[in-house]
Amino acid sequence: MDLNPTKGLEKTLAITTLNTYRTLFRDQTNKTKTIVDLTNKSDCNLYLFKMLTSLVGKAVVRDKCFMKNGVRERNIIVDEEEKLFHEKIYEFRKPFETKGMFLGEL
């Protein structure tokens, strides 16, 4: 599965996405002097990796950094075995969530 972005986001979508990211993941980059530009492919890739690791952890998603034409790039790699493990857990829990049941009510 290839999750690596091929280009950055459009300017209005980039601003909305960054604000949503900061709200959901409590990101503090707006308090530092770091300028995040999601119209840039490498920044977009970095924040996609941050979101995925926050959601599923580094057991499922890893990255491999390399230099290409003097620019640091990263490949996002999904461990398919770990992904299948988490999908099985999700499928197991799905019927309980729709019925509003908890494990104590079984």
Residue 36 tokens read as 């995040």
In tens, the pLDDT along 2-37 reads 677 777 888 898 888 888 888 887 766 556 566 778
In the structure, what pLDDT confidence band is assigned to residue 98 with cuts at 50, 70 and 90? low
* For the chain, percent of residues with pLDDT exceeding 70: 80
Share of the chain above pLDDT 90, in %: 0
Better-scored residue on pLDDT, 60 or 84: 84
Q: Cα dist. 51→11, 25, 37 in Å?
A: 19, 8, 16
**What average pLDDT does the chain have?**
78
Residue 30: its pLDDT value, please?
Answer: 57
